[in-house]
Amino acid sequence: MSQTAHIRSHRKPRRSASKIAMRAGVTGGVLSTLAVAGASGTATAAEPVTQTLELPTLTADLATEAAISAEATASAAATYELRAERDAATERAADLAERNLKKAKAEAEAKQKAEEKAAREAAERASRDSARQTLSTASASSSAATPASTTAVSGSAAAVVAFAKAQVGDAYVLGATGPNAWDCSGLVQAAYKQAGVSLPRVSQDQSVAGTPVSLSNLLPGDILYWGGAGSAYHVAVYVGGGQFVGAQNSGTGVVQASLDYDPPSGAVRVL
């Protein structure tokens, strides 16, 4: 017996054709699948990835709440604006009222002062007029009972007295200074001008233009005044014999009258 007869052949047994074909088919399919997957992976890696985020959709409740909130905000803003407008209007009205009040007070004070001044002037005129309503009659009767003068008049005083007497009968006109109409201080000023003396224009100043003298020690030519010294409302010229000449009022004009009928407040001596 050959020694090699019991030794197994080292060659692999031949596979059948069918098995070989099946394995080839499986292998090809796997390779094809890998090829396709590789191609797909390459294509996917080459293209950029785009991701889309979807926002949540408002529900009906959320939309209603948003609308209510917006309406409340608008209402609050409108209320604030209206309140600010009312406050501004109130402030403007208060300022206007304060200005009007100040203006009214100033006008009332000015009106009161004007009325008081007019009342004082009216009272002075009324007092002067009422005291002299019958001055012409009293002057005539006094002249008949009293000598025209018991004191000799000479020099500058004579010129003053003569001029004053010469104007008796002229008209009285407030503010007039002659030659045919006078007011009280205009007549006295013109009379003293005849003696070369320049006197102030108004009775207040004429009542302090000279040296004060007693009414019991008068001399012809002295200036008589009614009212206070420095605030006199009427002046006249003393002509002697207890009489004076003055431009009294529009009813009597320039007259010569007795001191007893309307005693003066005081007198000053200029000459």
pLDDT at site 73: 83
For residue range 67-114, what is the model confidence (pLDDT) as tens digits? Answer: 787 888 888 888 888 888 888 888 888 888 888 888 888 888 888 888
The pLDDT, as a whole number, for residue 62 is 73
Mean pLDDT is lowest, of 152-161, 189-198, 249-258, for 152-161
pLDDT, average across residues 210-233: 96
Question: pLDDT exceeding 70 applies to what percent of the chain?
Answer: 65
Above 90 in pLDDT, residue 247? yes
pLDDT at 91: 86
DSSP summary character for residue 177: B
pLDDT, average across residues 226-247: 97
Which is more confident, 48 or 121? Answer: 121
Position 48 scores a pLDDT of: 53
Q: Cβ(182)–Cβ(242) under 8 Å? A: no
Please report the pLDDT score of residue 35 as a whole number. 47
Say what the pLDDT of residue 201 is.
Answer: 96
Q: Between the ranges 82-86, 123-127, 149-153, 191-195, where is the mean pLDDT highest?
A: 191-195
Q: What confidence score (pLDDT) does residue 136 get?
A: 46
Q: Among residues 212, 250, 216, 251, which one has the least CA distance to residue 232?
A: 212
CA-CA-CA-CA torsion for 233, 238, 243, 245, nearest 10 degrees? -60
Q: What is the pLDDT of residue 58?
A: 52
CA trace torsion 81, 83, 84, 86 (10° rounding): 120
Which fold does the domain 138-269 belong to in CATH?
endopeptidase fold (from Nostoc punctiforme) (3.90.1720)
pLDDT band at 231 (very low <50, low <70, confident <90, very high): very high
Report residue 139's pLDDT band, with 50, 70 and 90 as the boundaries.
very low
Task: Quote the Cα angle for 136-172-179, to 5°.
Answer: 115
Q: How confident is the model at residue 126 (pLDDT cuts 50, 70, 90)?
A: low
pLDDT in tens, 12-43: 555 554 454 455 454 455 445 444 445 444 44
pTM metric for this prediction: 0.48
Predicted pLDDT at 60: 64
User: Residue 203 has which token pair?
Assistant: 């009775």
Q: How far is CA 173 from CA 169, 186, 221, in A?
A: 13, 10, 23
What average pLDDT does the structure give for the chain?
A: 77
* Whole-number Å distance between alpha carbons of 79 and 77: 5
Who contacts 197 (Cβ-Cβ below 8 Å, separation ≥6)? 156, 270, 271
Query: Edge-to-edge strands of the sheet including 253-258?
Result: 211-213, 266-269, 223-226, 234-240, 243-249, 253-258
What are the sequence ranges of the domains in the chain? Answer: 73-131, 138-269
User: Higher-confidence residue: 61 or 241?
Assistant: 241
Q: Is the pLDDT at 141 greater than 50, yes or no?
A: no
Closest C-alpha to 183, from 174, 192, 195, 191: 174
